[in-house]
Amino acid sequence: MKRIAVLFVLFALFHVAAANEPTLHQKSFSASAHLQTFALMQNLDDETISKAPQANHEKITKNKGKAFFMSLLLPGWGQHYAESKTKRAVFLGIEVGLWLSYAGFTTYGNWRQEDYETYAATHAGVNLEGKNNTYFIDVGNFASIYEHNAYRLQQRNFNKYYQDIDFYFWEWDSQQSRDAFDRLRISADTADNRALFVLGAIVANHIVSAIDAVWSVHRYEKSRLSTIDWDVRFGDGRIQPTVNVSFTAHF
């Protein structure tokens, strides 16, 4: 009887242990779940690293030659490339202002030219066809073509003698008209000279801007190399907590 009782107890303990022991299928499922969790954590870490901001020392180096030719073509463009916003605005603003001035002087000079040519045709009988600026200077300096030709013969300057009198004919109706014409002509010439001066200033602005663009790139590179930026990130922010440690120093 005692033996039967002992065997019954041992059988009961074995049955309980067998019930608590995981099956082969359960073991496989558990191992697979652990592997999937590990892979998910690895993917999250890789994604976090890929999205992490690049350090400042990985910025693309600026090219001085490129900046020079950019500003030589358009003042302020090289400064924009060198990330110098203030100088970019200054050089570009000067460029726009100079071109507007050039357009203004050129337009005004053309208006004055049309005015004095029309005035000469009305008050001196000038035929405007095929006449250049030298001819109109002579028209303003002499009362008529006869006075002009007499002066050239006296000076023995036959190259400036108008042989075709009918084509080059002029004769002022009064000295006042001649003086008014001369003022209009001088006004037109003054505007043209100022437009030429502004054109020279435009060229100078391109050259100065190009040189300054090289200097701006030099300053940019010097500032970039004298900066230490250290950024360390722990964790993926989803399963593990994220901790950022940053250090920046400027010299």
Report whether pLDDT(88) > 60. Answer: yes
Q: What are phi and psi of 83, to 5 degrees?
A: 60, 40
pLDDT at 30: 45
Q: Which pLDDT does position 147 carry in this prediction?
A: 96
* Residue type present at position 63: N
Question: Rounded to whole angstroms, how far apart are CA atoms 62 and 69?
Answer: 13
Mean per-residue pLDDT of the chain? 79
Quick one: tokens of 154?
A: 């006296």
Inform me whether the pLDDT recorded for 142 exceeds 90. yes
Sorting pLDDT into bands at 50, 70 and 90, what band is 225?
confident
Stretch among 28-37, 162-171, 220-229 having the lowest mean pLDDT: 28-37
Mean pLDDT throughout 108-118?
97
pLDDT tens by residue, 64-79:
999 999 999 999 999 9
In angstroms, how far is CA 217 from the centroid of its own chain? Answer: 14
Per-residue pLDDT, averaged over 110-117, amounts to 97
What's the confidence (pLDDT) of residue 50? 45
> What are phi and psi for residue 61, nearest 5 degrees?
-70, 135
Residue 241, pLDDT score:
58
First to last CA, the chain: 94
Query: Residue type at 153?
Result: L
According to the model, what pLDDT value does residue 235 have? 57
Q: What is the DSSP string of 177-192?
A: HHHHHHHHHHHHHHHH
Is 106 a residue whose pLDDT tops 50?
A: yes
Residue with tokens 């190009």: 210
Q: Which residue has the higher pLDDT, 54 or 204?
A: 204
> What does the pLDDT read at residue 44?
38
How many Å apart are CA 38 and CA 94, to the nearest integer? 62
The token pair at 55 is 């350090």
Domain ranges (residues) in the chain: 63-70+94-211
- Are the C-beta atoms of 217 and 81 separated by less than 8 Å? yes
Place of tokens 């000279």: 193
- Give the mean pLDDT of 180-192: 96
CA dist., res. 94 & res. 78, Å (int): 15
